[in-house]
Amino acid sequence: MKLQHRVSNALAALVTLFVITQGAIAYLSLEEQEDRIADELVLAEARQLATYAERGDLDGPRAADLLDRGADLRAWLVRIDGNSVPTGLPSRLASLSDGPHRVGDDDRHLHVVAMPTPAGRLIVAYDAQRNEEQVHQYGLYLIGLGGLCIAAAIAMARRLARIVLAPMERLSVRLADWVPGAPEDTARGASDEEARLVSAFERVQQRFERAIAREREFGANLGHELRTPLAVLRSDIEMLGESSALPEAQHIRLQRMTSTVDALAGAIESARMLSGRRREPAAAVALARCIDDAWLTVQADAARRGLVLENRIPATTSVLADRHALLTIVRNLLQNAAEHAAPGRCVATGDARTLTIEDDGPGIPESDLPFVFERAWRGPRADRGETADEPESGRGLGLAIARQLAELNGWTLDVEPRAGRGVRFTLRLSEPS
């Protein structure tokens, strides 16, 4: 059964149940009210006749006239000698005890009150058959009206189900057009919107999983193809560095080239980690040496801009971390300082759990601090005096990568204004286990 039919049937069933319940309550309430009114009518007539009996009006010849109450209301007075006025008292009424009674048969529905009076025993009976027929007629009206309400509810439920499920139908059709399935899959779910939608989502999921698998395979292949020539290049640079004939300046340049190759290898590892495939196990990393290695890759640009690094971390300080991730984060923080804090001074401090890199540059406006870790964020640059309407090269991409790598390793990277001038970046490492 189609989902649309199930929804419409459920709505129609709810309305039908509501209509039947309300109709039954209304009919039973009216029937009970009719019986109560008839009982009150009989009791009122009996009290009036009892008043006549107390005055002695039922002892004389007027008794028959006073006891004649109409076609539907009958009254009898059973005298002390056992005779009834008028005659013809039914035996089943004569045998009733004192008080109100309801006596029914196929032809009549009697409401009876029997009570003693000074003139004898008084019996008053009211035939409520016509009232019962009117209640039954009202019940037939309720049935007809309920049927119309149920029919209207069924029509409205079908229309409402079509309106409510139309977006699901359109979505399943668009997904099916985007990622068409096999003919047998389409045929199996053709009669159920829910099944078609689930099948379409499954095909979309499979398509994304295949795309992610291809992307990961491409990344792995690319990383493998890049790591091999980088390893060869690093070996050649190290062999050149072994020559004692080269001047000191060339040795420094070769050392910088080696660090750049290591930075490229680290970037490949960072891209692998950012893909979320797996994390390298933590190992002991010399924090001061990591700062120096990261500085070598940005030293040339920093020197050109006028930034000086002061590494105050003791050489014996080590942290338990993924070296590639830590090196990438530090390198991005130092590159950010070189671009935005120069000319000035950058200071690195830390211990086994915290690394702090701060500068005395122009700083970042308070209003911009919440956005510095967002990707491709564009904002005014305090160090160059740009306004929001002027273009900029794009601050925040390196910091966004640093924050993402930190979160991937369970660390936290925060920024805050430094007292006086500049900003302070604080990397909090997880405690060694």
Q: Write down the pLDDT at residue 279.
A: 58
Token reading at 414: 């925060």
Q: 394: pLDDT confidence band, cut at 50, 70 and 90? A: very low
User: Nearest 5°: phi and psi at 120?
Assistant: 145, -170
DSSP-derived 3-state class of residue 262: helix
> Domain end: 86, 121, 145, which one?
145
Pair (214, 283) in one structural domain: no
Q: Which residue among 247, 278, 309 closes a domain? A: 278
The verdict on 328 and 207 lying in the same domain is: no
Domain co-membership, 284 together with 273:
no
Q: Is residue 170 one of the residues assigned to a domain?
A: no
> Within a domain: residue 240?
yes
Distance of alpha carbon 180 from alpha carbon 174, whole angstroms:
9
Question: How many Å apart are CA 5 and CA 161, to the nearest integer?
Answer: 8
More confident residue, 407 or 234: 407
Assess if residue 273 is contained within a domain.
Answer: yes
Domain identity same for 283 and 423: yes
Shared domain for 131 and 73, answered yes or no, is: yes
Domain closes at, from 248, 263, 278: 278
241 and 127, same structural domain? no
Chain segment 240-288, per-residue pLDDT in tens: 877 777 887 887 788 778 777 776 776 676 666 666 545 567 789 999 9
Task: Write down the H helix ranges in 70-128.
Answer: 91-94
What single DSSP character describes residue 176? H
Q: From residue 68, how far is each of 63, 110, 262 by CA, in Å?
A: 9, 17, 122
Q: Check which CATH number belongs to the domain holding 136 and give it.
A: 3.30.450.20
Can you tell me the distance from the alpha carbon of 410 to that of 273, in angstroms, rounded to the nearest whole number?
13
Report yes or no on 312 lying in a domain.
yes
Residue with structure tokens 């939608």?
A: 197
What's the number of domains the chain is made of? 3
Residues 331 and 407 occupy one common structural domain: yes
Three-state SS across 382-432? CCCCCCCCCCCCCCCHHHHHHHHHHHHCCCEEEEEECCCCCEEEEEECCCC
In a domain, 155, yes or no: no
Query: What DSSP letter does each residue of 305-355 carry, written as one string?
Result: HTEEEEE-S-TT-EEEE-HHHHHHHHHHHHHHHHHHT-SEEEEEEE-SSEE
Provide mean pLDDT across the span 25-29: 93
CATH value at residue 195? 1.10.287
For 216-224, which contacts have Cβ atoms below 8 Å and span 24 or more sequence positions?
Answer: 216/275, 216/277, 219/271, 219/272, 219/275, 220/272, 223/268, 223/271, 223/272
Closest CA to 327 of 289, 301, 356: 289
Of 99 and 364, the structure prediction assigns the larger pLDDT to: 99
Q: What is the reported pLDDT for 431? A: 59
Torsion of CA 139, 142, 147, 152, to 10 degrees: 180
| pLDDT for residue 191 | 55
Residue 22: predicted pLDDT: 93
Q: Identify the sign of the CA torsion 76, 77, 80, 83.
A: negative
Residue 308 has pLDDT above 90, yes or no: yes
* Neighbouring C-alpha atoms within 13 Å toward the C-beta of 15: 19
Give the chain's length: 433
Per-residue pLDDT reduced to its tens digit, 118-177: 888 999 999 988 888 899 999 999 999 999 999 998 999 888 888 887 887 777 777 777
Q: Are residues 212 and 289 in the same domain?
A: no
Average pLDDT over the chain reads 82
CB 181 within 8 A of CB 199: yes
Residue 355 lies in a domain: yes
Three-state DSSP at 75 gives: strand
Question: Do residues 141 and 68 both lie within one domain?
Answer: yes
Cα first-last separation, the chain: 58
Range of the structural domain that residue 358 is part of:
279-428
pLDDT of residue 186: 47
In a domain, 263, yes or no: yes
Q: Do residues 220 and 327 both lie within one domain?
A: no
DSSP H stretches of helix in 179-192: 183-188
What is the tens place of the pLDDT at every residue in 186-233? 444 445 666 777 777 787 788 888 887 887 777 777 776 777 787 778
Average pLDDT over residues 364-377: 80
Partnered with residue 103 across adjacent β-strands are 110
User: What angle (nearest 5°) sits at the alpha carbon of residue 221, between those of residues 216 and 225?
Assistant: 150
In a domain, 56, yes or no: yes
pLDDT-derived band at 391 (thresholds 50, 70, 90) equals very low
CATH of the domain at 394: 3.30.565.10
Residues 283 and 412 occupy one common structural domain: yes
Asked if residue 292 has pLDDT above 70, the reply is: yes
Claim to verify: residue 226 and residue 357 sit in the same structural domain: no
